[in-house]
Amino acid sequence: MDANSDKGHDHKKLGKELDLFTFSDLVGSGLPLWTPKGTVLRNLLDDFVWELRSKCGYEKVEIPHITKRELYEKSGHWDKFKDDLFRITTREGDEFAMKPMNCPHHTQIYARRPWSYRELPQRYANTTMCYRDEQSGELNGLSRVRAFTQDDAHAFCRESQVKEEFLKVWNIIEEFYSTFGFKPKKIRLSFHDPKHLEKYLGDKGRWKIAEDILRDIAKEKGVETIDGMGEAAFYGPKLDFMAEDAHGRLWQVATIQLDMNMPERFDLTCINEKGEKERIVMIHAAVMGSIERFLSVLIEHLGGAFPLWLSPVQVRVLPVSEKHTAYANEVLAALRAASIRTDVDDANESLGKKIRNAKTEKIPYLLVVGDKEVEAKTVSVESRDHGKQDVASLSDFITKASEEIRSRK
């Protein structure tokens, strides 16, 4: 689905109006630069995904952004993606590449020592930049870029643990997307094309086992499925989550993938109950996919009107005139002390102009302070979503806003 199919909600236009990201000819096409406000968005989304993953036993890892050619030759990525790689040759003549994905690196973290079956699953989470040499004609705002941030995760487990691990990630995906009124409604069974086995790693038997497992999981969940023959990753089948946005457009969002081939290529094992080496399997999972593409969809889905917890500026204080600025700054200090992202518009403009500017920026709450508010130590509250509200004490507003933020309403 083209992220520009609804021009009224074009994420590139909204991103500029809301001052979230920019591009520079000097930096290069397909390389977004994130402003302070956009960086707040990225970090909050990543923190939310991590909060959900950490409850399921994932641990954070970090990896370098370049790697030797040999790693991708062993994983199979070099032959598959060599034309999409940014390559680097060292002064000593060694060939490296900017990483286009993270899974081969994570195999090497797992491979650092032997593991007992009692220690499995091992679960790694890693939000990190990846790089692909996309053709310039394919670049499109945040939807298709050359540098993108994956919220990547891999679970290394026994085949008998696959179903439980898949369902854990499935629950994470449902909770994450439901928060935005964007719950996936369909699952695409992205399987291999048996007529073109040369496109994939491994043999037919291993693919059948993996695809049968995913088909059974989808059936147990009772969701509507879409046939996706030929949409598998080259190393394994996927469950791709399809969600409908506020404009009726269907998007492929999150993905969970079952990989029985890369563990074979890297000889990843555990020691089983008999004291013997047992081949493990690998689960790839991305909740947002890439933060850039997810934000291109979310910005358009919400029309740029982010919920309070996600808004880069949550509250703006509007003094009616210059004589009210001192109290406006007191309100600002109190809100910031409560970890509510707040600014003050003390420009020499009319109150009406300040309100219009704030509405253009889609700020969730406006607090107007004039003579009455200064005298009573209150604030007049206007909500982006619910219009004008009552005058409230500052402490009452802070309590209400903090609860709304905490609950991610």
Do 315-406 and 7-302 have the same topology in CATH?
Answer: no
Note the pLDDT of residue 4.
41
Contact at 8 Å (CB) between 238 and 83? no
For residues 98 and 327, give the distance between their C-alpha atoms in angstroms, rounded to a whole number: 52
- What is the topology classification, in CATH, of domain 315-406? Rossmann fold (3.40.50)
DSSP class of 85: P
Band (pLDDT 50/70/90 cuts) for residue 401 is very high
Query: Could you tell me what percent of the chain has a pLDDT over 70?
Result: 98
How confident is the model over 81-107, as a mean pLDDT? 93
The residues that are catalytic are: 103, 132, 150, 152, 154, 238, 284
- Read off φ and ψ for residue 146, nearest 5 degrees: -95, -20
pLDDT in tens, 130-183: 999 999 899 999 999 999 999 999 999 999 999 999 999 999 999 999 999 887
- Count of CB atoms within 10 A of residue 252's CB? 21
How confident is the model over 370-380, as a mean pLDDT? 95
Q: Out of 76-80, 262-266, 329-333, which region has the weakest mean confidence (pLDDT)?
A: 76-80
Mean pLDDT of the chain: 93
For residues 144 and 136, give the distance between their C-alpha atoms in angstroms, rounded to a whole number: 10
Domain limits of the chain? 7-302, 315-406
Band (pLDDT 50/70/90 cuts) for residue 2 is very low
For residues 225 and 209, give the distance between their C-alpha atoms in angstroms, rounded to a whole number: 19
Which residues are CB-neighbours of 81 under 8 A, at least 6 positions away? 72, 100, 132
Note the pLDDT of residue 5.
45
Note the pLDDT of residue 79.
87
For residues 261 and 179, give the distance between their C-alpha atoms in angstroms, rounded to a whole number: 35
> Residue 251 burial (CB < 10 Å; 0-12/13-18/19+)?
buried
Band (pLDDT 50/70/90 cuts) for residue 82 is confident
Q: What is the full DSSP assignment across 248-266?
A: S-EEEEEEEEEESSHHHHT
Whether the pLDDT of residue 112 is over 70: the answer is: yes
pLDDT in tens, 190-199: 999 988 988 8
Secondary element (H or E) of residue 367: strand 365-369
Note the pLDDT of residue 6.
53
Looking at domain 7-302, what is its CATH homologous superfamily?
Bira Bifunctional Protein; Domain 2 (3.30.930.10)
